[in-house]
Amino acid sequence: MTNKLVYFIGNWKMFGDLTSIKVIKNVEKFYKGFVKYNKKNKIVFCVPDTLINFLTKNLKSKRISIGAQDCHHYSDYGAFTGSVNASMLKNSGAKYVILGHSEKRFEGDTNKLIKKKIESALKKKLTVVFCIGETSKEKKYKKTFSVLKKQIADSIDKKFDFKKIIIAYEPVWSIGTGNVPKSHDLRNIFKFIKKYFKSNYKVKSSPPVLYGGSVNERNISMFPKISEINGFLIGGSSQSAKKFIAIIKNYYK
């Protein structure tokens, strides 16, 4: 198990209303005791924009943060019906934003557009959780490494503030399917991503790299031994306090 900070970032997707605060309150209650003997972790819930301000105002623990799941690439106000920019997210209390999620890529986000979104989020001092990952077809044709390389190269600029960037490796074929990659493959992929950052971006150490895709309270036990993994982006299982807490507990078992 790693001695470094471990992230547990929930991605609520299109889930949650005002009553969903009970999920976060329950996690907060558990975490208050837990953090006394294990401080090397960080919890974030990336929620729909409609809940950011409400949840931020009602959170007591500074060790739990609220984030968003996307932002518009334009950082000022503008004629973009239905859109929310990074500055508005920041103003409502968000500290993090997920960008490049495959579900947004399916809706049309290109590497180039994601780069603009990252730029605008960093400008507003949000921490970016930048998602990358190959589809099952790309995996089948052994294109995983070239896909990841292109996603990073096309969206991450050398001038970016790397202290504000977290990478989330989320194989598309794993999201919501119950299938997770083999430990051996994960180790190779995480090594590749970290090495790529060190050699191409002149950073002393790579940004943290998280794993995402069907993480649950059972399969979490396979991850502690993969020391290259700096945490998790958790979708479905983050919508339940019971599951989310069990993931954290079982990771440290």
Nearest-CB residue for ligand PGA: 235
Q: CA dist 181 to 1, 128, 160, 169, 175, Å?
A: 19, 24, 30, 11, 11
Q: Which of 233, 245, 247, 248 binds ligand PGA (CB under 6 A)?
A: 233
Closest contact distance (angstroms) between CB of 97 and ligand PGA is: 13
Which range, of 32-40, 64-72, 143-151, 211-219, touches ligand PGA by CB under 6 A? 211-219
H or E stretch at 190: helix 183-200
Site mask for ligand PGA (CB under 6 A), range 25-64, x = bound: ----------------------------------------
Q: CA dist 63 to 3, 44, 101, 156, 233, Å?
A: 18, 8, 24, 27, 17
In our burial notation (b when 16+ CB lie closer than 10 A, e otherwise), range 215-242 reads bbbeebeebeeeebbbbbbbbbbbbebe
* Residues 229 and 190 sit within 8 Å (Cβ to Cβ): yes
Q: Which of residues 134-173 bind ligand PGA (CB under 6 A)?
A: 170
Q: Which of 86, 234, 241, 248 binds ligand PGA (CB under 6 A)?
A: 234
The tokens for 80 are 């973009």
Minimum CB distance to ligand PGA smaller for 87 or for 237: 237
Answer yes or no whether residue 209 interacts with ligand PGA by CB under 6 A. no
Answer yes or no whether residue 215 interacts with ligand PGA by CB under 6 A. yes
* Residues 232 and 8 sit within 8 Å (Cβ to Cβ): yes
Answer yes or no whether residue 11 interacts with ligand PGA by CB under 6 A. yes
Q: Enumerate the active-site residues.
A: 101, 170
Residues of this chain that interact with ligand PGA (CB under 6 A) are 11, 170, 175-176, 212-215, 233-237
